Amino acid sequence: MKPIGRSFCLAALMLLGACAAGPDYQKPAFEMPAGWKTEAPWREAAPKDSVDKGSWWKRFGDAQLNKLQEQALAQSPTLVIAGARLAQARATLAAASGAQYPQVGLSVRDSKGRISANRPLTNYNSPNFTTTQSDTVVNLAVGYELDLAGRVQRSVEGARASAEQSAIDFENVRLLLTADVATAYFNLRAVDIELDVLRRAIELQRKSLAYATTRHDLGATSGLDVAQQQTLIDNTLVQVDLLRRQRSQFQHALATLTGTPAPLFELAADPKVMTPPAIPAGVPSDLLERRPDVASAERAMAAANAQIGVASAAFYPSIVLGASYGSQSRVMDTLFNAPSVIWSVGASAAQNLFDGGRIRAGVDFASAGYEATVANYRRVVLTAMQEVEDGIIGLAALERAHTQAKVATTSATRVLDLAAARYEGGIATSLDVIIAQQALLNSERLAAQIAGQRLLTSVFLVKALGGDWPGTGKVETQP
3-state secondary structure of 103: strand
Of the candidates 64, 75, 72, the one whose C-alpha atom is nearest the C-alpha of residue 189 is 64
Position 149 confidence tier, pLDDT thresholds 50, 70, 90: confident
- pTM (2 d.p.): 0.76
Position 375 confidence tier, pLDDT thresholds 50, 70, 90: very high
Higher pLDDT, 62 or 288: 62
Position 8 confidence tier, pLDDT thresholds 50, 70, 90: very low
Q: What percentage of the chain exceeds 90 in pLDDT?
A: 25
221 plus 240 within the same structural domain:
yes
Q: What is the CATH number of the domain that holds 136?
A: 2.20.200.10
173 plus 137 within the same structural domain:
no
183 plus 282 within the same structural domain:
yes
Region 331-353 average pLDDT: 87
Residue 188 maps to a domain: yes
Note the pLDDT tens digit of each residue in 440-450.
888 988 999 99
Look up residue 465 and give its amino acid.
L
Residue 1 maps to a domain: no
Residue 338 maps to a domain: yes
- CA–CA dist 261, 188 (Å, integer): 18
Interaxial angle between packed helices 430-465 and 358-424, expressed in degrees from 0 to 180 and rounded to the nearest 10? 150
3-state secondary structure of 266: coil
335 plus 369 within the same structural domain:
no
Residue 7 maps to a domain: no
Note the pLDDT tens digit of each residue in 152-161.
888 888 888 8
Task: Please count the structural domains in the chain.
Answer: 2
Residue 13 maps to a domain: no
pLDDT score recorded for residue 54: 66
Q: Is the pLDDT of residue 283 over 90?
A: no
193 plus 341 within the same structural domain:
no
Residue 124 maps to a domain: no
Of the candidates 391, 199, 192, 392, the one whose C-alpha atom is nearest the C-alpha of residue 274 is 192
pLDDT score recorded for residue 281: 66
418 plus 437 within the same structural domain:
yes
Q: Is the pLDDT of residue 289 over 70?
A: no
pLDDT score recorded for residue 372: 93
295 plus 432 within the same structural domain:
yes
Position 65 confidence tier, pLDDT thresholds 50, 70, 90: very high
Look up residue 206 and give its amino acid.
R
32 plus 85 within the same structural domain:
yes
Note the pLDDT tens digit of each residue in 380-420.
888 888 888 888 888 889 989 989 999 999 999 999 889 88
Q: Which stretches of 223-329 are DSSP H helices?
A: 223-257, 287-290, 292-312
202 plus 334 within the same structural domain:
no
**Average per-residue pLDDT for the chain:** 83
Q: Give the contacts of 87 (CB within 8 A, at least 6 positions apart).
A: none
109 plus 242 within the same structural domain:
no
- CA–CA dist 225, 218 (Å, integer): 13
282 plus 254 within the same structural domain:
yes
Note the pLDDT tens digit of each residue in 21-50.
767 877 776 665 555 555 544 444 344 444
pLDDT score recorded for residue 42: 41
Domain range enclosing 27? 19-100+148-315+357-478
Interaxial angle between packed helices 430-465 and 223-257, expressed in degrees from 0 to 180 and rounded to the nearest 10? 10
pLDDT score recorded for residue 285: 65
Q: Which of 350, 372, 405 is the last residue of a domain?
A: 350
Using DSSP, how many helices (H) and how many strands (E) does the chain show? 9, 6
Q: Is the pLDDT of residue 365 over 90?
A: yes
Residue 284 maps to a domain: yes
- CA–CA dist 225, 420 (Å, integer): 13
pLDDT score recorded for residue 436: 87
